Amino acid sequence: RMYIDPSNYGDPMEALMSVAKEINKDDLKLEIVIGGGEFADVYRGVLTNEDKTQEKVAVKILKPGSSHKNREDFCVEASIMGQFDHPNVIALKGVITRTRPMMIITEFLENGSLENFLKSNDGRLTTLQLVGIGRGVAAGMAYLSEMNFIHRDLAARNILVSDNLAAKVSDFGLSRELDDSPENEQSEYQTQGGKIPVRWTAPEAIRYRKFSSASDVWSYGILLWEIMSFGERPYWTWDNFQVMDRVEGGYRLPAPM
């Protein structure tokens, strides 16, 4: 089965309904805010399933006053996620689109983002555990690559970790476009959720917009460095221009201590 770009559908809602289950809002109970961004907040919640079992879920809620484009992007993100079925890729449980606000419901992972998990467990995880996390991400990314899906934004902040240290690829973020403005000099590329630094991005993806499974592999290499350094920032305090210049000149990150 191959990944189908939601833009192939005329209507983002049609793309969404082809892959996602509509959930009754009465079956969902919101608990606490666990994150958020410019256009959406993320809550921990409890979903009551059809068989009356309950499970913890993460609920992304589109903020009131969001634009038509924000709503379309919200649908696109869910319709990307809804196509995947792999133990190392975040699972979409369903959506709420028939009432407002719109919501995306996914499985909930207790340890949150890999970046924060690594920083808060600095020195406390064994090499075997760290390698296991890296292996899980590799399995998820191999699956996405086989489906012809290019992630473009692989980094520790976009991996989620369960209570048994299963790593799951997440954030199939919104449309990504390179910022071409002269003052930017292509130092970073633009997403709806903000600007993504070049530290994780392959040189050819920055310079020529050539995103591919190969550029995802580059990002995976940087992610492995993050894992083995317990969430240290790649290239430390260098700015984006220094990173680009030195990487293109042949510099590579040293092995973590």
Residue 132 sits in the same domain as residue 96? no
CATH for 203: 1.10.510.10
Residue finishing a domain among 40, 75, 107: 107
Pairing between strand 176-178 and 159-161?
unpaired
CATH for 13: 3.30.200.20
Residue 26 sits in the same domain as residue 150? no
Q: Give the integer Cα–Cα distance in Å for 17 and 165.
A: 32
| Structural domain containing residue 182 | 112-249
- Is 153 marked active-site? yes
Per-residue pLDDT of the chain (257 residues; tens, 9 = 90+): 789 988 888 888 999 999 999 999 999 999 999 998 889 999 999 999 999 999 999 999 999 999 998 899 899 999 999 999 999 999 999 999 999 999 999 999 999 999 999 999 999 999 999 999 999 999 999 999 999 999 999 999 999 999 999 999 999 864 443 333 434 444 444 544 335 458 999 998 888 878 889 999 999 999 999 999 999 999 999 999 999 999 999 999 999 97
Neighbours of 41 (CB within 10 A): 16
Judged on CB neighbours under 10 Å (0-12, 13-18, 19+), 8 is exposed
The answer to pTM > 0.95 is: no
Residue 25 sits in the same domain as residue 41? yes
Neighbours of 221 (CB within 10 A): 14
* 254 is a domain residue: no
Flag whether 195 is marked binding.
no
- The one catalytic residue in 153, 171, 179, 216 is 153
